[in-house]
Amino acid sequence: SDLVDQARLGAALTRLAHVPVERLLARPELPAGQALAARGLPARTIDGFLRPLLAALLCDPALTTSSRCADLALRAFAGGRLCVPEGGAEMLPELLAQTLPPGTVHTGVRVTSVATTSVTTAEHGEIRCRAVLLATDARAAADLLPGLRVPDFHPVTVVHHTTDEAPGTGAALLLDADRGGPVAHTALISEVDPSRAPSGRSLISSTVLGNPPPDLDTAVRTHLARLYGTPTHRWETLAVHHTREAVPAMRPPHDLRRPVRLLAGLYVCGDHRDTSTVQGALHSAHRATAAILKDLGATGSMHRADPAPTAQAA
Ligand SMILES: Cc1cc2nc3c(=O)[nH]c(=O)nc-3n(C[C@H](O)[C@H](O)[C@H](O)COP(=O)(O)OP(=O)(O)OC[C@H]3O[C@@H](n4cnc5c(N)ncnc54)[C@H](O)[C@@H]3O)c2cc1C
């Protein structure tokens, strides 16, 4: 009957991947944990797979997130599965910046105030401009523009271990369905992206959702030994990263399209204007840049990668 459950789950995910987004967004909006129960799937599929998967995708162990956001996350999973950027999360902005003329992007500069015609920085004083797009996290955005809403956040802690003896789980993501310890999910990440691991060694990256326990190192090690079925006392802890305000909470009712144009000349984007994901941040940035181009009267494609019109096409 495990096989039957798996087949039904596979079929449900395939169907979900093809449901139009508008149809998902028309469904009643509940906390995700409640909506799952109404799915018509066996309890052990829900508790053994969907709950831990959604907790991982949403960084929300209690599944208080809007069911519409949960459906969008599951739909994206069903359509594309999981991936990590090769080289680490910072590769995505680096690749985007590389498409711009050299010198366009300056990093390590702290903005202390914004207006429609200027930005004041801690390091370089005032910089005049025609429009400002504020692309910070929600708290920094509200510090710079008081009145912007600051959501609640889900905390996330990531623990990296290295070892000479790789556990035999391959590139699979292990989800903890039993809540047998603090780890929500873990993977032998060097199997997925060897560039992240110390040379010739294995890297195991594990995520703790919610507030971490005081004895984090011991509790995580003990839990990982159970999840991987191998002793972990000789694993070396490489790094522990705790982010208290990691992911903006998306409780129902969640506005998936918060305004990005505040005034002509002043715009805001980020995961807090859309869904709390990289895709949400990018989508809100796309909406904001479209508004800026429209206000500035600019024409033409927003995509530098679009092919230039040829004589025949023009
Ligand atoms: C541990 C962890 C794991 C995650 N895992 C995933 C995942 O698997 N999938 C997923 O989709 N999302 C994940 N997220 C969420 C994802 O990282 C965010 O949703 C995304 O980075 C938001 O992008 P953003 O551009 O809105 O904001 P950010 O990435 O927060 O970028 C905002 C930038 O603004 C800068 N800034 C702030 N204040 C100022 C100032 N005053 N002056 C100048 N610059 C300033 C900051 O330095 C930062 O570089 C995870 C987050 C964390 C913390």
Domain around 24: 2-80
Which range among 99-103, 235-239, 294-298, 310-314 shows the weakest confidence by mean pLDDT?
Answer: 310-314
pLDDT in tens, 2-52: 777 778 888 888 888 999 999 999 999 999 999 998 877 888 889 999 999
Domain count, the chain: 3
Strands 132-134 and 266-268: parallel
In a domain, 291, yes or no: yes
Q: What is the pLDDT of residue 300?
A: 62
Query: Ligand 1 within 6 A of 276 CB?
Result: yes
In a domain, 92, yes or no: no
Atom of ligand 1 nearest to the CA of 285: 25
In a domain, 70, yes or no: yes
Query: Ligand 1 within 6 A of 243 CB?
Result: yes
My answer on whether 136 and 271 are in the same domain is yes
Query: Ligand 1 within 6 A of 140 CB?
Result: yes
pLDDT in tens, 131-174: 999 999 999 999 999 999 999 999 999 999 999 999 999 999 99
Q: Region 105-113: what's the mean pLDDT?
A: 96
pLDDT in tens, 191-237: 999 999 999 999 999 999 999 999 999 999 999 999 999 999 999 99
My answer on whether 185 and 233 are in the same domain is yes
* Pocket residue to mutate for ligand 1, from 114, 271, 273, most atoms within 8 A of Cβ: 271
My answer on whether 13 and 76 are in the same domain is yes
Query: Ligand 1 within 6 A of 156 CB?
Result: yes
In a domain, 37, yes or no: yes
CATH at residue 227: 3.90.660.50
